[in-house]
Chain A
């Protein structure tokens, strides 16, 4: 059971928009800690996709965006492409008993 809750799977057709939610609590996202998002392509290591809630590292297309409100965060992907099919993880920090670093359980994005 992950501290941050993500839907196990989402799907969309090419060109569509999808969102992935990440729900936390008052000891992590709700405490003001930043949320980062990672993309993990099949057989590869995770790669930073969004940092500091809504910032893209150099090289990440602007089709990817992040937001945060209250105890939750979201990743949005517009203009869905086949190469976006991957697992996506949110990550934040926690001041409670779960440890200082927490991950979501991951969401499998399928491009139909």
Chain B
């Protein structure tokens, strides 16, 4: 069973860039079968899909976040990463990384809380 683990700073200052990395426990990150996603959840609220990256490096982003999001992939390290620029308090949330395909849905990491505050 694949495991995904988010890592990165838990506190980011307003206007700075939030950076998170997800480490995948197997080498399925090189598989053509899966997408690699970031999803977030503000406290007490629902799930918001941020974006996904494919093994080729092809990306898709949420229209509402597209101008501030960059995803990247490092297959040699079994990792993929999220950068969210110009953060505000509204970006405070638990951030999840997840593996997906259209048929079998999402497998989630445990999540990491990121707080935007000075």
Seen from chain A, the residues whose Cβ lies within 8 Å of a Cβ on chain B are 2, 33-34, 36, 38, 44-48, 51-52, 89, 91, 93, 97-106
Contact = CB atoms under 8 A, between A and B. Distances in A.
B60 interface: yes
Instruction: Say which size band chain B's interface belongs to.
Output: 20 to 34
Contacts of B105: 36, 38, 48, 51-52, 91
Interface of B: 37, 46-49, 52, 60-64, 96, 102-111
B65 to A, nearest CB: 9
Contact of A2 (B46, B52, B62): B46
Most buried by A among B49, B105, B106: B105
B49 A101 contact: yes
A34 B102 CA distance: 7
A74 B9 CA distance: 38
The 10 A-B pairs of least Cβ separation, nearest first, read A36-B105, A101-B49, A51-B105, A106-B46, A45-B108, A103-B47, A105-B46, A99-B62, A48-B105, A45-B111
Contact of B106 (A33, A38, A97, A104): A38
Given A51-B103, A51-B104, A89 B49 contact: no
Contact of A45 (B48, B49, B96): B96
Contacts of B60: 99-100
B96 A101 contact: no
B37 A101 contact: yes
B7 to A, nearest CB: 15
A99 B108 CA distance: 20
Contacts of A46: 47, 96, 106, 108
Contacts of A47: 108
